[in-house]
Amino acid sequence: MTDKKKGPKLVSRRNTLKGIGAGALLATTGMPKMMGYAQAQTSEPIKIGFQVHRTGIGAAYGRWYDRTTQAAVKRINDMGGINGRPVEIVAEDDGTDPKRGAEVVEKFASQHNCDIAFGTLFSHVVFGSAPRAGELKLPYFVVSEGHHVASGKLNRYTLQPGITDVKSQVQAMAPFVGDNLGKKVTMIYPDFAFGHDHRDFFSEAIERQGGQVVAKIAVPPAETSFTKYFPKIPRDTEVVYHVMVGPAVLTFVKELGEFFGPSRPEIFGFIDSLEAVDINSPGLEFLEGTYFWEGMPRYAQANQTSHDKLYREAVGVDENGASTSDPKDVSTFAHMFGCWETLNIVKKGMESAGYKGPEDRAKLIEAVEAMSDMPMSDDHPQGAKRFNGKTHQTFGSQYISKVTDGKLVVSHTTSIEDTLYEDEVDYTTQPF
Amino acid sequence: MTDIQRSNWLHIGVVIALACSFFILPEYHSGNLARILVLAVYAMGYNLLFGYTGLLSLGHALFFAAGMYGLGLAMQFFDFNPIAAVIAGLILALVVSICVGFLALRTTGVAFMIVTLMFAQAGYLTILYFGEYTRGDEGFVIQQADRMVGMIDLTSPMGRFFTALLLFAICFFIIAYIVRSGFGLALVAIRENEERATMLGYDVMRLKLQAVVISGVMSGSAGAAYALLFGYAGATFATVQYSIFPLLWVLLGGAGVTIGPLIGTIFMFYLIDYSSAITPAYMLIAGLALVLLTLFAPQGLAGELRRRFLPWLP
């Protein structure tokens, strides 16, 4: 037997290279997690993750939310940005899908290192995304008009400061409907949560006015023909209240007109039934003399404010609420102002919080929670707002317009007080 | 090394590699992986029925949603803790899959596809109909504070990832065991030639029902895990789109290969994630990739791997 003594093993060049390679791999892949998010340099842009419905059921809204957002950011940047830093929009399509919505929020927080997320409209996407925003501690500014924020179902990181919610809108409509159109109301609404909110909130509100809902006609989602629902409207109906969303809204309204013919009851609708649809489309002539709720008047009114004018020019919307480059491309005017106003509120919030980077996200939320009255201005062209920091929900005037000569003419504007209701949550008691 | 040993090492190795990846990958990708693992469980359940038994269902979203709502409603209305709620989700998925299997298996081929699709659609509309409790399409949030198991916070990156991995590993090993067992081989026999399996004396109806139930419960476990780990339950997950997804994942990854669903889910997830960064028409890119894969790798990625290099892949 031989006893071979092994000498000290030298580190070979191959092993050294392997070690360097492994180190480099660890540095490029593992380091981000170990180091966390590096603090933003002051010259770096403020990144706003824009969760946009580019595809799916919300695509028509998404297109106009996108245009409004780009216009608002351009204006903010032209005015010097936020705290001297330019604003950059990082847009991601959520497919109007709650699963993809949550993934997009994660992408904003940990891939793009966005400062906030913003812009979601459809309620189910908000519900799917908000839990992740809260867990990732990413301020999430939604433009949804759902009652979900003020209902207390979400979390402290989710706010809706730029658009009113459906509960306040519906509640403010009931006095006008009861006093001017009739007391016996038949409601036609989509048979899902958004429609159920209308059904429940309006039923309560009209009863307070001494009226009653004589029939509640729920239309299943994805319905393409509506004629079979209209015979359910009771003969003693004085007012038909309709709200519909989705790609079949035009068919819905046309078939409603065909059903009634020349003699119809009073009709009151939410403009959601005709968002992005030309009100002068063939078959909609029967709408003449009917009433619509509008979040913001689609047609420039006789008493148009300078704020409305500036806003339309910036976004590229003409006096009829259509694109300045294509009159057939009708906007979602009643909702999209929410993007504009939300971004201006974010700007104010960041400035008052002295926002520097993600470490100041809690300060940003506290700064927005501290906001209250916001007068009508170029930042708030829809009208004055009153933000409730406890419920994270804003309140504002609503518009009721009458179709007159093929245009929507405002016939009544509610006060902010008409839209208020009791707090259902106090998010400020929740820890960050 | 025998094929069985290779297979064992493969499955153990995949789970170990996934566990290590949490410490290596950046936060965004490890977060994605947690979601992918849950969805891969859904795809594995689908693969058992489609890839191994040859039954093409277009209604698996019903099972996924059963698990999701079983857990979600139990937590929402009965204050179940997460473990009890998961069990509630599994029980609901079990009951639904027995009922659906019992009725749908009276049909075959295209009729089976249509019947399962109709059951899923009925399930979706049921969720909407009981919107007062389910909040319909809008869904509901399962609050962060309710998603704790003992000291484990399921909303933390690590808690979420390793819970997803645990579920994945359990289902992965169960599938690996099943496909090598006599039961699994009988399912393959049914897939290859149902009449011959009947002639050989197998109780085909019973075996297929068992496959539907195992597949349904596994899909339900994914639904329950999704609601628990990501804090949301909604009717969207019961739509036909979510019945098509596992079919795509399995076709892309490799039908009838245990690792196929994981590969397919990862591939599809990142295909959409990266292509959406390039163009708003990202579904066009995704569609093109799917067509190319179908043309040049009709057996899916893992299936092609098995055909060319690794014939022992289970």
Give the homologous superfamily in CATH for domain A166-294: Response regulator (3.40.50.2300)
pLDDT digits (tens, 9 = 90+) for A12-60: 545 544 554 554 444 444 444 444 334 444 679 999 999 999 988 888 8
pLDDT digits (tens, 9 = 90+) for A60-112: 899 999 999 999 999 999 999 999 999 999 999 999 999 999 999 999 999 99
* Binary contact (A221, B28; C-beta < 8 A): no
Q: Please tell me the predicted confidence (pLDDT) of residue B276.
A: 84
Q: At residue B293, what is the residue type? A: L
Burial A385-421 (b: 16+ CB within 10 A, else e): bbbbbbbbbbbbbbbbbbbeeebbeeebebebebbeb
* Residue of A32, A92, A98 with shortest CB distance to B232: A98
Residues of A in contact with B163 (CB under 8 A): none
Residue among A71, A294, A352, A301 nearest A164 (CA): A294
Ordered by start, the domain boundaries in chain A are: 46-164+334-396, 166-294
pLDDT digits (tens, 9 = 90+) for B166-199: 999 999 999 999 999 999 999 999 999 999 999 9
pLDDT digits (tens, 9 = 90+) for B228-280: 999 999 999 999 999 999 999 999 999 999 999 999 999 999 998 888 878 87
Residues of A in contact with B280 (CB under 8 A): 54-55, 93
Class of domain A46-164+334-396: alpha beta
Residue among A118, A123, A223, A119 nearest A167 (CA): A123
Residues of B in contact with A26 (CB under 8 A): 24
| pLDDT mean over A296-309 | 96
Q: What is the mean pLDDT of chain A?
A: 88
Chains A & B: contacts with CB separation below 8 Å? 111
Q: Please tell me the predicted confidence (pLDDT) of residue A275.
A: 86
* Residue of B232, B277, B280 with shortest CB distance to A131: B232
With CA atoms as reference, the chain B residue closest to A153 would be: B141
Q: Please tell me the predicted confidence (pLDDT) of residue A380.
A: 97
pLDDT at residue A369 greater than cutoff 50: yes
Beta bridge mates, A52: A93
CA–CA distances in Å: residue B123 to residues B49, B56, B61 = 20, 18, 9
CA atoms within 13 A on the CB side of A203: 15
Residue A260 CA to residue A268 CA, distance in Å, equals 14
* Binary contact (B132, A196; C-beta < 8 A): yes
| Of B225 and A4, more confident | B225
Q: Please tell me the predicted confidence (pLDDT) of residue B312.
A: 87
Q: What is the mean pLDDT of chain B?
A: 93
With CA atoms as reference, the chain B residue closest to A110 would be: B28
pLDDT at residue A223 greater than cutoff 90: no
pLDDT at residue B300 greater than cutoff 70: yes
Burial B67-103 (b: 16+ CB within 10 A, else e): bbbbbbbbbbeeebebeebbebbbbbbbbbbeebbee
Is the Cβ–Cβ distance between A143 and A335 less than 8 Å? yes
Q: Please tell me the predicted confidence (pLDDT) of residue A281.
A: 85
**3-class SS of residue B153:** strand
Residue A292 CA to residue A176 CA, distance in Å, equals 11
Q: Is A84 left (phi over 0), alpha (psi -120 to 50) or beta?
A: left
Beta-carbon contacts of B289 under 8 Å, excluding residues fewer than 6 positions away, are: B271
Chain A: closest CA distance from residue B225 (Å): 14
* Binary contact (B136, A102; C-beta < 8 A): no
With CA atoms as reference, the chain A residue closest to B134 would be: A193
Q: Which two tokens mark B283?
A: 């579904």
**Interface membership of B237 toward A (CB under 8 Å):** yes
Secondary structure (H, E, C), A125-169 = HHHHHHHHHHHCCCCEECCCCCCCCCCCCCCCCEEECCCCCHHHH
| pLDDT mean over B36-57 | 96
Helix axes A306-315, A333-353, angle to 10 degrees: 100
**Interface membership of A128 toward B (CB under 8 Å):** yes
| pLDDT mean over A301-319 | 96
Helix axes B260-278, B282-296, angle to 10 degrees: 140
Q: Which two tokens mark B290?
A: 């799917």
For testing contact with chain B, the best of A96, A100, A111 (most B CBs within 10 A): A111
Max CA pair span of chain A: 115
Residue B186 CA to residue B140 CA, distance in Å, equals 42
Chain B: closest CA distance from residue A378 (Å): 31
**Interface membership of B240 toward A (CB under 8 Å):** no
With CA atoms as reference, the chain B residue closest to A112 would be: B28
Going A403 to A405 to A406 to A409, the CA torsion angle's sign is negative
DSSP per-residue codes, B80-109: --HHHHHHHHHHHHHHHHHHHHHHHTTS-H
Burial A186-215 (b: 16+ CB within 10 A, else e): bbbbbbbbbbbbbbebbbebbeeeebebbe
pLDDT at residue A151 greater than cutoff 50: yes
Beta bridge mates, A373: A386
Q: Which two tokens mark B206?
A: 């019973």
ipTM at complex level: 0.88
pLDDT at residue B209 greater than cutoff 90: yes
pLDDT digits (tens, 9 = 90+) for A249-279: 778 888 888 888 778 888 899 998 788 888 8
Strand ranges in A191-344 using DSSP code E only, listed in sequence order:
212-219, 239-242, 266-270, 291-294
Is the Cβ–Cβ distance between B223 and B65 less than 8 Å? yes
| Of A349 and B277, more confident | A349
**Interface membership of B268 toward A (CB under 8 Å):** no
